[in-house]
Structure 1
Amino acid sequence: MSGVPFLIDGHLDLAFGAALGRDLTLELDALRAADPVEGETATVTFGELRAAGTRVCFGTLFALPRTAGSPRGYTDHAGARRQALAQLDGYRRWEEAGHLRLLRTGAEVAAHLADPAAPLGVVLLMEGADPVRDADDLGFWAQAGVRVIGPAWGRTRYAGGTDAPGGLTDAGRELVAAMRDLGMTLDASHLDDAAFWEALEFGGRVVATHANSRALVPGNRHLTDEMARAIADRDGVIGLVLLSTFLRAGWGLGQPRAGLEAVADHARHYAGLVGWDHIALGTDLDGGFGREKTPAGIDRYRDVPRVLEVLPPEHRAAVAGGNWARWLTRYL
C-alpha cells in the first residue's frame, strides 16, 4: 500500500501452528491442501508474511493447557515447559534455515528494519507463563530471547485470565516483580481485570499485543477504556485482533464475517481515548481460528494491509508498523 513502508504484527502463534503439523515454509495453497488442522483454514505462511510486507512480528511461545477440547494439553509446569521449549527449538531451526531472524534488542530491531533484504524478524513473546518454573527461572527465558510475557491465558499458576476471574497469585506477584527487574515487558492481553491492575502497580513496562475494546465487545478478554488509558500512559501499544468474535458483539459461525469497518471501529475508539500513537496490529491470525472467522476481505495473510484502507490515511503507516517500531527500538 502506498505510504505504508512495512508491517509489524504484535501477535502470531507461528511455532504453535508448526506444532500442530503446519509447514509454514510452504506456499499457502500447498499448506491448505495438506493442512492437518480441521475446520480452521490456514492464512499464515512465511511467504504470505513477505507478500504483506511484514518485517517484524512478536512470535509466541504458547503452551496449550488441557481442556475438554484439547486433551493433549499440559496439566502441570513440566508439560507446559516441554511445549515451550519445543517451540523455542522450532524458532531456532527456522532461523538456521534463513526463514527468520530472532531479535533481542531495540538496536537489533532498528538494524533489521534498515535492511530490506532481511528475513522476517521475530521478537519472542510468551503467552501464558506456566512454562516458567518460578521467578528465579526468568533468567533462563530471558537468555533464550524472550522479551515479553503475558502471565495469563485462561487461569494460570500466576494470574486470573480470560473467563477466569482473579488477581495475581503470590507466585504471580513474584513473577511480575522479577520481570520488571529484568527489563521484561508485561503483555496485558488475557489478564483478568484484578490481575491487570495489580500487575500495573509493580511499575514495569506494559503492552497489549492483541486486545480489542470491551466498550464494543463485552467480556474480560478485552480492554476497558480505563485499561487502554493505563497502557498508553505507560507509553505502551495495543494491537488490534482480526477475529470476528472479537470485533462484533454476538458474532457466531454461520453469520457473515465482521467487516473491516468493525476493525476501524475498534481503532477509532482507542484513538479517541489515547490517540493514534498507541494503536497497532496484533492480528493473531491462525491463533486457534482460521479464515472462517477472519474479517471479510482477509482471506489470507497478504490481505492484512486492506485493514489500513479503512483507517485515516495520515495514521496508516503508524498503525501498520510505525508505532510498534517506535516502541521496540525504545524499550526492547
Structure 2
Amino acid sequence: MDGHLLIDGHLDLAMNALDGRDLTLPLEELRRVDPVPGQTAAVSLPELRAAGVKVCFGTLFALPAGPDHAGYTDHAGARAQALAQLDVYSRWEDAGRIRILRSGAEVAEHLADPGAPLGVVLLMEGADPIRDADDLLFWTDRGARVIGPAWERTRFAGGTDQPGPLTPAGRDLVRAMRELNVTLDASHLDDAAFWDAAELGVRMVATHANSRVFVDGNRHLTDEMARAVAATGGVIGLVLLSRFISREWQEGQPGVPLGELARHARHYAALVGWEHLGLGTDLDGGFGVEKAPAGITRYADVPALLDLLPPEVRAGVAGGHWARWLSTHL
C-alpha cells in the first residue's frame, strides 16, 4: 500500500525524547545509540517522514510513580513533566522539525503543503498536570487541543485498571473542556467516568483504543462506548500492541498476526462505519517492536495493516478520517 496520507492518533514523542532518545536521528542510527533497554525503537522524526506521516497527535504524558518506576506523586510533579515535554515540542518547532497545529484551518493549510514538516496536535494523556478547571486555559493557550482525563486513576477520573467515575473536579474539567472546544480522549477512561463524561455532552475521540470484544479489561472500548464516541463525530485509533489485540497473547511470544488487528477494524466498522476509524498506533509508547504485531519492525511497516482492509476504505483509515475530523473540529 503506497501513497496514502498517514495521520497517527497517538505517539509519545516528547516522552521518548526525555527518556534520552534523539528522535531527530534516522531510525537505524537511533537504534545504535538507543538508551532505552529492551525496547527496540520504531519511531523517529525522519522515520515518520519517510513513512509518509503528515500529522500525529503528540502526547504530553506525565507518568505517575509506581512500584517499579519513579514518577509524579502530586500535581506539581505532573505539571513539571508535562511542561518539560511541551518544551521539547517547542524546541523542535523552533528548529523547523515539526509544526504544532492549533486549529482546523492550520491543519488544512498544513496538509496542502507538500514540504511541511511533521504536524503535531498536542494531546494531554492523563490530566493531572492541570491544576483545576480554571487552569485549562493555560494549556490551551500553549496548544493543547485534546485531553484524556485519565491514564490510571487521576484526580479527575477513574482509568485503566483503576475504576471510578469522574470526580467533582473531573466534572468541572469536562465542562470547561466543552466550553473551550477541547476534545476529550476516552482511551484510558474507566467505564463509569466515560459515561459521566458522555452525559456532560463533551466531544469525544478515542485516539488509541481497540475493542473489548477481543481483549478484556477497561482499557478497551465496549461496543456501546464506540457508538458513543462516533455519535459525537469522533474517530477511534487502532493500537499496534499485541496484548491490546489478542487476549491469548502472552509476554515473550511472537507478535500477533496483523490480521487480528484488522479484525478489530472490521468489528468497529460494522458498529459505527469505516468513517470513524483511523490509526492510533502508540508505537514506542512504553514498548518496543518486540510487542508489536508480527511484521511491524519499524514505523514504515504500519501501512501493511491497510493492505488487509477493503481497498475502498484504506485511504480513510490511513489518514483521511483523522484529516476530516481535525479540519472540522480542532
Structure 1 length-normalised TM:
0.98
Deviation at 1:52, TM superposition (A): 1.1
* 3-state SS of 1:213 partner: coil
2:124 is matched with 126
2:18 is matched with 19
* 3-state SS of 1:95 partner: helix
Deviation at 1:30, TM superposition (A): 1.2
The amino acid of 2:176's aligned partner reads A
2:56 is matched with 57
* 3-state SS of 1:200 partner: helix
Deviation at 1:202, TM superposition (A): 1.1
2:201 is matched with 203
The amino acid of 1:90's aligned partner reads V
Counterpart-to-counterpart distance in 2, 1:30 and 1:267 = 33
* 3-state SS of 1:91 partner: helix
Q: Give CA-to-partner distance per residue, 1:276-332, whole Å, 9 cap, x none.
A: 000000000000000100011110011111110111110000000000000000000
1:182 is matched with 180
Q: How does 1:93-132 map to 2 (within 5 A)?
A: 93-132=91-130
The amino acid of 2:80's aligned partner reads R
The amino acid of 1:60's aligned partner reads T
Which consecutive unaligned segments of at least 5 residues does structure 1 have?
none
Deviation at 1:27, TM superposition (A): 1.0
Q: Percent identity?
A: 71
2:317 is matched with 319
Structure 1 residue ranges (4+ consecutive) displaced by more than 6 angstroms after TM superposition: none
Deviation at 1:255, TM superposition (A): 1.5
Deviation at 1:5, TM superposition (A): 2.7
Q: Give CA-to-partner distance per residue, 1:198-244, whole Å, 9 cap, x none.
A: 00111121000000000011110000000001111111100000000
The amino acid of 1:177's aligned partner reads R
The farther-off stretch of 243-252 and 7-16 is 243-252
Deviation at 1:250, TM superposition (A): 2.8
Q: Give CA-to-partner distance per residue, 1:111-140, whole Å, 9 cap, x none.
A: 000001000000000000000000000000
Q: How does 1:297-312 map to 2 (within 5 A)?
A: 297-312=295-310
* 1:32 aligns to 2:31 (yes or no): yes
* 1:275 aligns to 2:282 (yes or no): no
1:91 is matched with 89
* 1:290 aligns to 2:310 (yes or no): no
Counterpart-to-counterpart distance in 1, 2:72 and 2:34 = 23
Counterpart-to-counterpart distance in 1, 2:23 and 2:152 = 27
Counterpart-to-counterpart distance in 2, 1:177 and 1:26 = 41
Deviation at 1:22, TM superposition (A): 0.3
Counterpart-to-counterpart distance in 2, 1:5 and 1:265 = 21
Counterpart-to-counterpart distance in 1, 2:143 and 2:321 = 22
The amino acid of 1:53's aligned partner reads G
Aligned-residue CA RMSD in angstroms?
Answer: 0.7
* 1:80 aligns to 2:78 (yes or no): yes
The amino acid of 1:327's aligned partner reads W
Counterpart-to-counterpart distance in 2, 1:250 and 1:77 = 37
Structure 2 length-normalised TM:
0.99
* 1:145 aligns to 2:143 (yes or no): yes
Counterpart-to-counterpart distance in 2, 1:104 and 1:300 = 29
Determine if contact 2:254/2:290 at 8 Å carries over to the other structure: no
